[in-house]
Structure 1
Amino acid sequence: MTFWFLFCFTVFVASMIPGPSTLIAFTHGAKLGWAKAIATASGNALATILQAVAACAGLGLALAKSATLFLLIKYLGAAYLIFMGISMWRGASQGVDLKSELVSDVAVFQRLFSSGFLVAASNPKAIIFFTALFPQFLGAAEIAYSQMALMIMLAGVIAFSVAMIYAALGSRLRAMSITQSAMTWVHKITGGLFVSGGVGLAVSRS
């Protein structure tokens, strides 16, 4: 139990650090409520699971050793974050309808799920993080695969939980019935943070 608690605590603390994935969950929670943001959290969780699987498959080592591959994925991720930030800023400038709803619930789910997935998947450092983390918690060879499978699933559950925490915070902001002007500024600030994050990811040396 101590082993698994330490693993979960490590992943949880790392996941709680504000970043693009938490910002998108917060934004969706503020705009549409925590219930719809479940789709965002689900996309985030799936991306996290795939990143953890990729780390186990050796992609993390490949990224660490191949500067070209790492830079390619990093720049693509940075470009997407900047695109998301500009889209949020432009959407806020056009006005935010606090009660807006899309006609189709399926369309809402697909849009939020894809946003949560792509934002989380846009950061190649997550794969390297899992590549460095997992070996610290793997035991004997005969049980390594079962441990690895459980750690991957726990990472997904934690990613989902953290996203929902931020979505709930955003939903709380929505419940405060703040003015449309204030919500517009929330979207502008979030969009600016996305652009800053994308630029920071692009110019970072690691």
Structure 2
Amino acid sequence: MTTSTWLVFLLASLVTTFSPGPGVLLAISTSASVGVRRTAYSSAGNALGVVVVATTAAAGVGMLLQTSAVAFAALKALGAGYLVYLGVRQWRRRAAPLQPAAAGAATVATRRGLFLRGLLVALTNPKSILFFSAVFPQFMHDNEPALFALLISTFVACTLLSHLCYALLARAIGKRAMSASRARLANRAGGAVFIGLGCSLLTLSARPA
């Protein structure tokens, strides 16, 4: 792969990972509720999920989802349901998501729980599989393990970078949070976005535009 080709893939990865989606929203929500450091665990889980998704897409699962309506509908329903579940939890949360994390907040969200949450968000997002099944073939001219490792490493690095930027942004905004009413409104707004993302998955077509 030439440097110019890699730069094209890098640009596509940056645009994709910095575009608001389930992983980005999870990073923002986690950072605001338990802090930037704890967000690293959910982001690590999300990154692992991206690796699994990319590998399965390269193995042909992406093509299966594009040709099998049943398989695609099942994954789509699973992903939508999980996002709606996260949205309902966010909506009902009493702690203010845009305030600095409380001292005991870290004990509520365990490292394992945060990691698994990030992993599940990545694994149940059919958009990711469709992205890799549509984009990877444009850069994978042959089945070279080294080339695949380079592409997936680039995408994972972009994913972690985007999560870090959004997490730091959430912390900066959190320092300005004041009243309980605004905190409650932010909770419900975040929950509504999660639910909206989940519902949007139900309208996702198996054939990317």
- Same fold per TM (> 0.5)? yes
Aligned to 1:161: 161
Identify the range of structure 1 (194-203 vs 173-182) with the bigger mean alpha-carbon deviation.
Answer: 173-182
- Deviation, 1:168, is 1.1
- Paired residue for 1:4? 6
Higher mean displacement: 72-81 or 193-202: 193-202
Give the corresponding residue for 2:149: 149
- Aligned position for 1:77: 79
Q: 2:135 aligns with which of 129, 133, 136?
A: 133
1:23-34 to structure 2, matched below 5 A, reads 23-34=25-36
Contact 2:91/2:192 (8 A) holds in 1 = yes
Residue type matched to 1:167 in 2? Answer: A
The TM-score with structure 2 as length reference comes to: 0.88
Aligned equivalent of 1:117: 119
Q: Point out where structure 1 has 5 or more consecutive residues left out of the alignment.
A: none
Give per-residue Cα distances to partners, 1:88-142, cap 9 Å, x unaligned. 1111xx343842524649x531222222221222211211111111111124x3x
Q: TM-score, normalised by structure 1?
A: 0.89
Aligned CA distance change for structure 1 residues 40 and 179 (closer, same or farther; 3 Å): farther
Q: CA RMSD in A?
A: 2.0
Contact preservation (8 Å) 2:84, 2:195: yes
Q: Once the two structures are aligned, what percentage of the paired residues are identical?
A: 30
| Cα distance change of structure 1 residues 197 and 27 upon mapping to structure 2, 3 Å threshold | same
Deviation of residue 177 (structure 1)? Answer: 4.5
Aligned equivalent of 1:171? 171
Residue 195 of structure 2 corresponds to 195
Change in 2 beyond 3 A, CA 1:119/1:178 = farther
Gap runs ≥5 in structure 2: none
Amino acid at match of 1:5: L
Is the partner of 2:163 in helix, strand or coil?
helix
Distance across 2 between alignment mates of 1:28 and 1:169:
12
Aligned pair count reads 201
